[in-house]
Amino acid sequence: MRMPPALRRRAAPPAQWGAMDRWGYEKRAAQKGHRHIAGADEAGRGPLAGPVVAAAVILPEDFHHDRINDSKKLSPAMRARLYDEVYRHARSVGIGIVDAVEIDRINILQASLRAMAIAVGNLDPSPDYVLIDGTFRVPVGLPQEPIPQGDAVSLSIGAASIVAKVTRDRLMGLYHLYYPDFGFDRHKGYPTREHQAAIRTFGCSPIHRRTFRGVREHLPVQEGFFRC
């Protein structure tokens, strides 16, 4: 089936590779002989509750979409639409999830890198090159390239950013059904005033990150509080 023009990759001369061409990093990896090039990103480093979720995406070479970008710059409705587009057209999507208990055990940076490694490991076909949002390498035995603000300059990382964010937001919506006092369906675990007030009132739930400031101060068990 012929892909709609809006989704086709727009050719760009080499002079435009990099920040001006969202396929630039992928093209340079392909020139080195790599065939399965993945973008990886995570969502959920800043919240006080819930997991960190990562996604890895391998896009087809003829994919293009002007709106794919850093997921934080998009409305929830647009993220949901683009999430569907990525799943519809991607060659492979992998998800990695590291829960609050593991985050407390190994710290949020290591948990984020582990989540991305899991996401990369869940790709089929397996990638032979990985573009990573950020400045740190992930613990996988593959050639990789960390790119600061990569979700804004790489289409593959931007797609992964959207998938990770939507997946995590939907997980937090499910957690709201189990712990409705905290409003996870609204703030997704981030330290909003509403969330901080709920912690002061109800203590912490089993999915709160006990080592995070804003949670650890409320750990002593009191009457009516959840036991972490």
Do 108 and 130 share a structural domain? yes
pLDDT reading at 37 higher than 70 = yes
Residue 21: predicted pLDDT: 82
Average pLDDT (171-184) is 98
> Please, are residues 184 and 175 in contact by the beta-carbon 8 Å criterion?
yes
Flag whether 194 is in a domain. yes
Residue 225: predicted pLDDT: 44
Do 124 and 199 share a structural domain? no
Query: In the chain, what is the straight-line distance between the N-terminal and C-terminal CA atoms, in Å?
Result: 52
Flag whether 224 is in a domain. no
Distance between CA atoms of residues 162 and 69, nearest Å: 8
Do 169 and 196 share a structural domain? no
> What residue type is assigned to position 155 of the chain?
L
Can you spell out the DSSP letters for 135-197? SS--SSSS-EEEETTHHHH-HHHHHHHHHHHHHHHHHHHHHHHH-GGG-HHHHTT---HHHHH
Buried b (16+ CB within 10 A) or exposed e, 87-96: eebbbbbbbb
Do 206 and 99 share a structural domain? no
Do 169 and 86 share a structural domain? yes
Residue 70: predicted pLDDT: 66
> What residue type is assigned to position 125 of the chain?
P
- pTM over 0.75, yes/no: yes
C-alpha torsion 28→34→37→42, nearest 10: -80
Do 96 and 57 share a structural domain? yes
Do 184 and 143 share a structural domain? no
Do 14 and 125 share a structural domain? yes
What domain range includes position 206? 178-218
Do 151 and 187 share a structural domain? no
Question: CATH number, domain at 74?
Answer: 3.30.420.10
Flag whether 226 is in a domain. no
Flag whether 132 is in a domain. yes
Flag whether 119 is in a domain. yes
Residue 14: predicted pLDDT: 37
What is the three-class DSSP state of 10?
coil
Average pLDDT (16-29) is 74
Can you spell out the DSSP letters for 71-96? GGGS-HHHHHHHHHHHHHH-SEEEEE
> Please, are residues 228 and 219 in contact by the beta-carbon 8 Å criterion?
yes
Q: Where are the alpha helices (DSSP H) in 23-73?
A: 24-31
Read off the tokens for 69. 């970008």
Average pLDDT (11-37) is 73
Q: Using 50, 70 and 90 to split pLDDT, how confident is the model at 79?
A: very high
pLDDT reading at 83 higher than 80 = yes
Do 102 and 145 share a structural domain? yes
Q: What is the pLDDT of residues 138-160, one digit of tens each?
A: 999 999 999 999 999 999 999 99
Of the residues 161, 177, 193, the one at which a domain ends: 177
Flag whether 223 is in a domain. no
Flag whether 227 is in a domain. no
Give how many domains the chain has, as a whole number. 2
